Structure 1
Amino acid sequence: MKRWLFAGVSDKRELILYICKLLTAAGQRVLLVDRTVESKYQYLARNREGVLPLIEFCGFDITNGELEASEEGTGLPEAIHINAESYDYLLYDYELDQPKAEGLCSQMDQIIWVTTFDHYEVERSADWFRQWLRSDPILAGVLVHPVLIRTVESYLTANYMMSLTEDLPIEWNTDVACIPWNELNTAIHYENGHEHMLHIHRITRSYRRALISLTVQLTGWTRSEAKRAMRSARRRAI
């Protein structure tokens, strides 16, 4: 079982949901653990109360993190109501206002930092990493995959964004993933939320290519395997 942690101030939901969709389309069993403030994924449920103990969404499962502490005492959860070992992938959407559990990093196969170009979001995330490193020095040198979402044409570049974090003793993956954005992707983003769907078949070609590249980077699949998963996900979404 693989565990991936997505951290950052920015709203990461759409990116993570699309990645879950691609993994599921490839035949993987996926659980998305909602560790966001106020359980933001609850609104994917179609009931008014938005109760999210465990829901199935677009072929994968989502839980709100009502889980017991692991036997190792690290503070990272293992499932009470579900058997986490029955999944191939556990993806955590971890918001920066949540407490940083001791030993969190050591249990993760991948750590992904997600941010927009927004100055506050970049600086706030960098501050969080600094606090995390002070509280748990063993994290120094940990490999983190940076992902820039909702990117637009600008003199602001990925290299510039990464320069704002150059003081951190973190090993950044040099292949910075950039997820492009435009008016069409914005419209689909809003429609996904209101329709409780994932219209992955309608996003722009550049968005799809970026998702494929990121999936290859995180999973170790070949590009052909990732493209096959994308084709399958698009067919199922129609």
Structure 2
Amino acid sequence: MKHWIFIGACDKRELLMYLGRILAANRKRVLLVDTSKELRYRYAMGMESDGLPIAEFCGMDVATGFADSLDLYRALDEGGESELAYDYILYDMDNGSFGHKDLWEGADEIVWVTGLGRYALEKGREQFVSLLELYPDLVGRRVKKVYMHSVDSQLTDEYISSFVSSLPICWEAKAVRIPLDEGNVAVRLEGEHAGTIEIRRITRAYKRVLIELVEELTKWDRGLTRKAVRYADRRRA
């Protein structure tokens, strides 16, 4: 079982749902964990606010409403399951307190997902400062960078990185940029209201970025990743 932690002060649902869908399309068992108090993923799934705490959605399981990771593991155990039964667990972290020390230090990947607005960048720095205070052993940890809804602007990667570069983190030099596109936004919004995920309708540029990110995270080869994306294209909820 591999687990990835995505942290950052922006809406990460779109990205994580696409990643989970692609992983599931390659016959992997996936658990996506929503740590938000607002239960945001239930709305993205078209569920009622009092829905099941662990629900199947588009080939993966989505967990919402748990106080912390140990609470989640207890619920899985009571249901005759285990976190170890999943090939991949994706945590959408709003703060470091949801996960315990071993969860953070044992993460196969930690990914900083941020928008380019000043609030998201400043808040992201605050999150990492708090995280390092909670878990000092994360000093020197390698962290990937993903910029959501990136646009052509004078905000260079050097400038964006300056918000967090002084922290004792080993930041990967190259950031993954998710391009802002009106059509992609429409696909996400329509998917939320229809209760589905439709990767087939997003732009080729977005698919290329997803393929690149999946390859980096899973270490799959290009052929396998493209095959998983094509299969995710065809699958419907």
State the TM-score, normalized to the length of structure 2.
0.90
Change in 2 beyond 3 A, CA 1:181/1:61: same
Q: CA deviation at 1:36?
A: 1.4
Q: Measure how far apart 1:225 and its partner are.
A: 1.4
1: CA distance between counterparts of 2:228 and 2:82?
25
TM superposition shift of 1:100: 5.7
Matched, 1:22 2:6: no
Give the drift of 1:6.
0.8
Which structure exhibits the higher relative contact order, with contacts defined as CA atoms closer than 8 Å and separated by 6 or more residues? 2
Pairwise CA RMSD = 2.2
Matches within 5 A, 1:92-131: 92-96=91-95, 99=98, 101-131=100-130
Deviations 1:143-195 (A, max 9, x none): 11111011111111333211221101001112211111111111112111111
- Structure 1 residue matching 2:140: 3-state secondary structure: coil
Q: Which residue does 2:58 correspond to in 1? A: 58
Q: How does 1:157-236 map to 2 (within 5 A)?
A: 157-236=156-235
Which letter maps to 2:213?
A: L
Change (3 A) 1:41 1:149: same
Which secondary structure state, in structure 2, belongs to the residue aligned with residue 3 of structure 1? strand
Instruction: Give percent identity, aligned residues only.
Output: 38
Name the count of aligned residue pairs.
234
Counterpart amino acid of 1:25? A
Cα offset, 1:66, TM superposition: 3.3
The residue type paired with residue 150 of structure 1 is H
Asked if 2 retains the 8 angstrom alpha-carbon contact of 1:178 and 1:210, the reply is: yes
CA drift of 1:67 comes to: 7.5
Q: Give 2:86's aligned residue.
A: 87
Pair 95,234 (structure 1): closer, same or farther in 2 beyond 3 Å: same
- Looking at secondary structure, tell me which structure has more helix per residue: 2
TM-score normalised over the length of structure 1: 0.90
1:7·1:114 contact (CA, 8 Å) conserved in 2?
Answer: yes
Task: Tell me the secondary structure at the aligned position of residue 168 of structure 1.
Answer: coil
Q: Distance in 1 between matches of 2:68 and 2:13?
A: 24
Relative to 1, partners in 2 of residues 1:23 and 1:143: Cα closer, same or farther, differing over 3 Å? same
Unaligned runs of 5+ in 1: none
- Distance in 2 (alpha carbons) for counterparts of 1:69 and 1:60: 18
